[in-house]
Chain A
Amino acid sequence: MSALAFFFIVISLASFVVAQLILKRAMEFSRSNGLRNARFVSRAAIGVALMTVSFFLTLGLLQRFDLSYLYPFQGLSVIFITLLAAVALKENLSVRLALGALLITAGIILVSIS
């Protein structure tokens, strides 16, 4: 894997993770404030824009690598999103949930390197 491919994989992963956190915030905000307000729309729009960046970078990568090879990098998103949801969104993270997320990530990585 070239440095360029690694770079695009990292950017694609990072924009995906940040998008999920922003969208979760937006949807929670919408529960008390409804869908028609500027703060919700702008958050959702940033989330969607980041997901779009991640999507097209993935499409570029798929032209060069097997899906079963690329997919595991998305697996890392489980760890990042679970940890960041606990830290940034102050969600409860039990030992059990953390362990589950770790096993899922380990499993996905194993699938990728096999």
Chain B
Amino acid sequence: MQNRPTGFGNPWLQLGLSVVCVLVSELLLKRGATDVAEPDSAFSWTGINGLESPLVWWAILLIIASFISWLYVLRYVPLTVAYPLSRVVDILVPLGCWIFLGELISTMRWCGIVLVVIGLALVAKPVARIEERL
């Protein structure tokens, strides 16, 4: 990992980009899936009828983008570090649901969000050490 790229090729920047793409795509998927929902049809368990929604297609584009930056991250960062960090999205998605989809966040849900933040902090701290070692 001596030749780790900097600038746009920085794996941590790419991890951030990947997270943002996932966040937006999840919100689009929920909107899109709700728009075309057919809960009574057995076929809709496959999710394929979701493709009727243009929002789902936008989400797919973002997922592909996030996937490419994620593969790039995997090239340079151990999975035990990269994957837990990528779950910062688990805080951002409920916050996004609250802000953009009008879903409610209860006290308990806020507590869960706090736990995730503490967990992320624990995982993120050794990153500085990894950076030194690499």
Contacts and interface: CB of A to CB of B under 8 A. Distances in A.
Nearest to B48: A56
Interface residues of B, number: 55
A111 B113 contact: yes
Contacts of A85: 78-80, 83
A63 B79 CA distance: 31
B109 A110 contact: yes
Given A27-B74, A104-B115, A110-B108, A97 B48 contact: no
Contacts of B115: 103-104, 106-107, 110
A67 B30 contact: yes
B35 to A, nearest CB: 10
Contacts of A55: 47, 63
B50 A59 contact: yes
A94 B115 CA distance: 19
Given A4-B45, A59-B29, A75 B87 contact: yes
Nearest to B114: A107
Chain A at the B interface: mostly helix, strand, loop or mixed?
A: helix
A106 B79 CA distance: 19
Interface string B103-117: 100111101111111
Given A62-B30, A82-B80, A94 B112 contact: no
A93 interface: yes
B71 interface: yes
B75 A30 contact: yes
A101 B56 CA distance: 30
A104 B29 contact: no
A77 B79 CA distance: 12
A51 B114 CA distance: 29
A91 B123 CA distance: 14
Interface in B96-128: 97, 101, 103, 106-109, 111-123, 125-126
A75 B64 CA distance: 21
Nearest 5 pairs of A and B residues by beta carbon: A59-B47, A110-B112, A107-B115, A103-B119, A100-B122
